[in-house]
């Protein structure tokens, strides 16, 4: 893509404005929601405990309310994940970022992995399956991606950010695997506007970041207001 075309990309509609800090407070959730609405972000991503607050704040506004399920390890029981997802939906969640069980994947328990994700997808809410690609080899990434796509996910997400940042090579690999059938969310360690642009050009259709305002270069304007 030409440099001029890259420069013309508005990254704001790609951003899931993430507040996954375990010391977050309701006033901070309110701040995140206000920023998401102001800057036209795709979504706010908060912990399940704050979904209802975010849903009330963003009612009838463009940004979606996203929450995480089985976060950050993916190793709660399938029944627990399903309950967590259903409760989040009841509280107003519109998208679910679900951490897959990597133990199932590495043990070859693919039927259980598929069933777990499929049950959550059956709730009817768009699911982003978190693959944690930094912990997988390319063969495992391909298998995980294919299982999750078959289960009905709307997006494949590179990782939680707990095990290192996202990288362009993984986004490109997921783009090859998905062939446009589902979206790709790159998350973890996205620190600059250029990095965000590079990930979008590589194939990312969403960006998960807590540094959203900095990526837009709007921090000074925000603080002035």
Which residues are catalytic, by number?
97, 157, 185
DSSP 40: T
Q: Which of 211, 214, 220, 221 is nearest to 19 (CA)?
A: 211
Instruction: Please list, in sequence order, all residues whose beta carbon lies within 8 angstroms of the beta carbon of residue 135, skipping any fewer than 6 positions away.
Output: 102, 163
CB atoms within 10 A of CB 80: 12
CA triple 16-20-24, angle to 5 deg: 120
66: β partners: 45, 95
Alpha carbon distance 178, 184 (integer Å)? 9
Kindly give the interhelix angle for 110-121 and 78-90, rounded to the nearest 10 degrees: 10
Q: Tokens 């540094």, residue? A: 211
Radius of gyration of the chain (CA): 17
Torsion angle defined by CA atoms of residues 180, 167, 141 and 88, in that order, rounded to the nearest 10 degrees:
-70
Residue 47 CA: distances (Å) to CA of 67, 93, 156, 195, 220: 6, 10, 19, 26, 28
């Amino acid at each position: 893509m030409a440099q001029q075309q890259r420069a013309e990309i508005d990254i704001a509609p790609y951003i899931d404005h993430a507040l996954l800090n375990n010391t977050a407070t309701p006033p901070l959730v309110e701040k995140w929601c206000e920023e998401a609405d102001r800057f036209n972000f795709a979504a706010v991503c908060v912990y399940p405990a704050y979904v209802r607050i975010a849903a009330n704040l963003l009612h009838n506004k463009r940004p979606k309310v996203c929450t995480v399920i089985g976060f950050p390890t993916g190793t709660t029981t399938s029944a627990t994940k399903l309950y967590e997802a259903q409760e989040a939906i009841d509280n107003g969640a519109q998208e679910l970022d679900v951490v897959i069980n990597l133990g199932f994947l590495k043990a070859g328990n693919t039927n259980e992995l598929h069933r777990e994700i499929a049950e959550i997808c059956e709730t009817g809410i768009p699911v982003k399956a978190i693959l944690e690609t930094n912990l997988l080899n390319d063969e495992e990434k391909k298998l995980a991606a294919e299982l999750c796509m078959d289960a009905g996910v709307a997006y494949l997400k590179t990782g939680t950010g707990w095990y290192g940042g996202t990288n362009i090579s993984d986004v490109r690999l997921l783009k090859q695997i998905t062939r446009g059938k589902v979206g790709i969310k790159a998350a973890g360690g996205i620190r600059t506007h250029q990095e965000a642009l590079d990930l979008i050009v590589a194939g990312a259709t969403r960006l998960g970041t807590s540094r959203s305002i900095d990526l837009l270069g709007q921090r000074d304007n925000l603080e002035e207001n």
